[in-house]
Amino acid sequence: MKRAEKTQPVMNDAPAGSARLYLTKRRAAIVLAALCAALVIAFGVALSTGSEHVALREIFASLWAKLIGAVVPLSREQEVIVFSIRLPRIALALVMGAALATAGAVFQALLRNPLADPYVLGVSSGAALGSIIGVMFFSQVAAARPLLGFFGAATTTLIVYRFGRRDSDPARLLLAGVVMTTFLSSIIVLLTSLADTLRLRNISLWLLGDLSSGSTEGLAFIAAAVLIGAALLITQARALNLMMIGESDAFALGVETKRVRTIVFFTASLLTGVAVSAGGAIGYVGLVVPHLVRLASGADNRLVIPASALAGALLVMMADTVARTVLAPRELPTGAITALIGAPVFVYLLLKGRG
């Protein structure tokens, strides 16, 4: 009994066995405050950068004026560009990045696999298939793409969980996801071969990550879903810390492993589905961001999950800013920028881990 009482607090606070990265309130506050400060600065830069440059001071003054109901110190054209075009797109980038990074962090912790990623598990492919069906066959219905994308993600989640569930081997879910991803990708290729030239171009851009369709109508639903889902996953952080050392050990310490696994898997999968149906398939966010956060702040999921959400939002927002400005007036797919950033970083992490 004494030995168990002595061991449990260590497992809660340092699941990776790293005493030097013991989580404290001060360190958590510093990490989260630094990420929030970086987000605010990057947010202002993203709003001011584009074909029509607006001074950063005027941006923050205009935001404050909007909040208090005062007169906005911008011309009519600048106000439309900043608040009707750029702001919805930036907000979509923020919630997408937060959703994908949060899902990646909890998937890696749940499956105890550093390569676990929402896309590998097939959820994004299900959302992509549903969204493509909406674009091709129900284009006259405004809400068809997000609704069918969400339905595709939910259906894929149920199938993968049904065939991949096994209490003694959580990595089996990963294998089921890979098989489902291959199957759904084949269907997507068949459907795109039936599309006309214009739709094929739009679908191709969307599959690479296209945030130009961001709108205030669908943004409220996406933001609410991401906030609720991320908050629910944060409540499971302590249980995930124990499950990272082994589900049998976690169960012996009082964790309801089956319930936690169900909550985490479904919530993270649906977060991914919401993100993909809204802005397309943006890769490497859920794979690389949690790795970088763990390198910087340790493996305690009580900090990793919220820090990953902030860092993922920062990464996608910065990538989208580059995508729409580097070759202006042309735009690059946001997913191409995240791949250019994420792939070298991930190779570096693999080589460092091997060393």
pLDDT at residue 16 in the model: 41
Residue type at 331 in one-letter notation: E
Q: Which residue has the higher pLDDT, 275 or 350?
A: 275
pTM of the model as a whole: 0.84
**pLDDT at 25 (0 to 100):** 85
Helices (H), the chain: 2-13, 25-48, 56-68, 76-80, 87-111, 123-137, 144-164, 172-193, 197-207, 216-234, 237-243, 247-252, 257-279, 285-297, 301-325, 334-354
Hey, where are the domains in the chain?
90-354
Whether residue 275 is predicted with pLDDT greater than 60 in this model: the reply is yes
Nearest residue to 107 (alpha-carbon basis) of 11, 173, 19, 181: 173
Q: 253: which 2 tokens?
A: 């310490």
Q: What is the pLDDT of residues 126-141, one digit of tens each?
A: 888 888 888 788 877 7
Q: Rg of the chain's alpha carbons, rounded to an integer?
A: 21
User: pLDDT by residue (tens digit) across 326-348?
Assistant: 887 788 888 888 888 888 887 87
Q: Give the pLDDT of residue 4.
A: 42
What's the pLDDT tens digit per position in 209-262?
A: 778 765 555 688 888 889 999 999 999 999 998 888 877 778 888 888 888 888
User: In CATH, what number does 90-354 get?
Assistant: 1.10.3470.10
Q: Percent of the chain, pLDDT > 90?
A: 20
Q: Which residue has the higher pLDDT, 22 or 321?
A: 321
- pLDDT, residue 12, reads 39
Reply yes or no on whether the pLDDT at 38 is more than 60: yes
Q: Which of 107-111, 263-267, 312-316, 326-330 shows the lowest mean pLDDT across its residues?
A: 326-330
* Residue 98: band (very low, low, confident or very high) from pLDDT cuts 50, 70, 90: very high
Q: How confident is the model at residue 21 (pLDDT cuts 50, 70, 90)?
A: low
Mean pLDDT to the nearest integer, 191-216: 74
Determine the pLDDT at residue 296: 86
pLDDT at 14 over 70: no
Helices (H), 22-165: 25-48, 56-68, 76-80, 87-111, 123-137, 144-164
